[in-house]
Amino acid sequence: MTTKTSPFARDILNDDKSENVAGILQDNLTNLIDLALVMKQAHWNVVGTNFRSIHLQLDEIIVTVRDASDEVAERIATLGVPADGRSSTVAAESDVENYPAGFVKVPETISRVADATKQVIDSLRDAIEKLGELDAISEDMLIAISGELEKHLWMLQAQEA
């Protein structure tokens, strides 16, 4: 659990709310960072038919995910709680399934990154429900992030049909 240690004199939310919201956001920050790493691992090691299109598509998703993680981390800091994106935290706390080492053929790559994207979307949607009563700004931010990831998931899944 993150603890409020803000150097700022003007709180946006009260301390209890800030810590609760920041904790929910931190869980999603960890998952988003890990999803970007999974996508990059897949990007580097995808092989097979249609390699180039999935290789480029993964980079597009990575941009979305990295932008989202930055937005979530900055929201945590805005609430007066330090964001934690350290590799040790991500490794210990991410809900995203590990990606295999080595080369992975295109169909398996698509399936694995779609599964990882869905895991993060599920986490975001759970957080959206929790944030509804706590902080509309954070809720709205996660709704926007989820919408973008859901679009990427659609495009991934369309390749499995």
Sorted by where each starts, the structural domains of the chain and their CATH numbers stand as: 15-95+103-158 (1.20.1260.10)
**pLDDT grade for 12, boundaries at 50, 70 and 90:** confident
Contact in structure between 106 and 48 (CB atoms under 8 Å): yes
> pTM of the entire structure?
0.93
How large is the average pLDDT for residues 29-39?
98
Q: Quick: pLDDT tens for 106-153.
A: 999 999 999 999 999 999 999 999 999 899 999 999 999 999 999 999
Q: Is 80 left (phi over 0), alpha (psi -120 to 50) or beta?
A: left
**pLDDT grade for 14, boundaries at 50, 70 and 90:** confident
pLDDT of residue 16: 83
Q: Quick: pLDDT tens for 77-101.
A: 999 999 999 999 999 999 999 999 9
Let me know if 107 is exposed, middle or buried by CB neighbors in 10 A (0-12, 13-18, 19+): middle
Token pair recorded at residue 34: 């890990």
Whether residue 4 is predicted with pLDDT greater than 60 in this model: the reply is no
Say which amino acid occupies 92: A
How large is the average pLDDT for residues 46-66?
97
Percent of the chain with pLDDT strictly greater than 70: 94
Whether residue 52 is predicted with pLDDT greater than 90 in this model: the reply is yes
